[in-house]
Amino acid sequence: MPELPEVEVVRRGLDEHVVGRTITKVDVFHPRAIRRHVPGAIDFASRLTGRTVLASDRRGKYMWVGLDSQEALIAHLGMSGQLLVQPVGAPDETHLRVRLRFADGGPELRFVDQRTFGGLSLAELTEVDGTTLPVPVAHIARDPLDPKFDVGKVIAAIRRRHTEIKRALLDQNLVSGIGNIYADEALWRAKLHGTRPTDKLSRAKVTELLAAATQVMREALGQGGTSFDALYVNVNGQSGYFDRSLAVYGQEGLPCARCGRPIRREPFMNRSSYSCPRCQRRV
């Protein structure tokens, strides 16, 4: 599932290719792709048609573009969603769900999604803590790459929780944008096992962990994100290559880069956690 770096790579593509353009035609090919837009496909298309894209933005794993109608077009990539910029007339992708055409006759924006867990929706904007956000995103906490991210406040909130540290890292109401991949990488860098209780961790250790999470996501962003499967691509259809730099995620049985012990995999919330048995003790 795309996490902050992957979503940010796609947002940058939207910023480059879509901002400033006026939408002239909207085709919805699969109702599931706009299921979060409750009024349906006809309403979705009519509210987008004629609108100009003013800016792009992101919080955590949510991205959107602001429109001159004071609404936002939100894109969720879900498990396998892609936003692709394609020349007019390029053959339709097998899993093409929504197509936007523009007044300048230039490249189209296509939402392609094999598993259709992702989708597009239109939403009103609201202001939260001095930042304008689409209403469905209003509850999502600031992410570590947000200039207004208040690290002291987040550290205090994590230490007040009675939970396991990995669960706290994945809680989008505490800190957003971190998913399974970057949580495991950050925990390895900070030499913490994910089941360690948050209320027993020192302030210094939580500080180190958040710094590690921020650093690993910045590095991933610099490499175009992690291609956790073949479906994650930027708007030009290219995949990232941070998977080559992963220390633990998906590395079961391979030697730890720090101590050489084989990386272990443990079940975690219907998925897996990866860690080093020596560097990351349970207690």
Least distance CB 223 / Zn ion (angstroms): 23
Which H or E run includes 213?
helix 203-222
Q: Is 6 a catalytic residue?
A: no
> For residue 110, what are its two tokens?
């296509």
- Positions of E strands within the chain: 23-28, 53-59, 62-67, 71-76, 81-86, 96-102, 108-113, 119-128, 131-134, 264-268, 271-275
Active-site position among 91, 127, 147, 271: 271
Least distance CB 261 / Zn ion (angstroms): 5
58 vs 264, which CB is nearer to Zn ion?
A: 264
Are β-strands 81-86 and 62-67 bridged in parallel, bridged antiparallel, or unpaired? unpaired
Amino acid at 251: Q
78 vs 262, which CB is nearer to Zn ion?
A: 262
Active-site position among 21, 51, 61, 196: 61
In the complex, the residues that contact Zn ion under the rule CB under 5 A are: 256, 258-259, 276, 278-279
Active-site position among 3, 6, 8, 71: 3
55 vs 257, which CB is nearer to Zn ion?
A: 257
Phi-psi region of 87 (alpha: psi -120 to 50; beta: other; left: phi over 0): beta
Least distance CB 144 / Zn ion (angstroms): 24
> For residue 224, what are its two tokens?
């175009």
88 vs 254, which CB is nearer to Zn ion?
A: 254
Q: Is 3 a catalytic residue?
A: yes
Return d(Cα 78, Cα 61) in angstroms, integer.
Answer: 9
Whole-Å CA distances, 103 to 13, 21, 170, 229: 19, 7, 41, 34
- Asked if 109 and 17 touch (Cβ cutoff 8 Å), the reply is yes
Q: Is 2 a catalytic residue?
A: yes
Least distance CB 84 / Zn ion (angstroms): 39
90 vs 259, which CB is nearer to Zn ion?
A: 259
Q: Is 271 a catalytic residue?
A: yes
Least distance CB 193 / Zn ion (angstroms): 12
Catalytic residues: 2-3, 61, 271
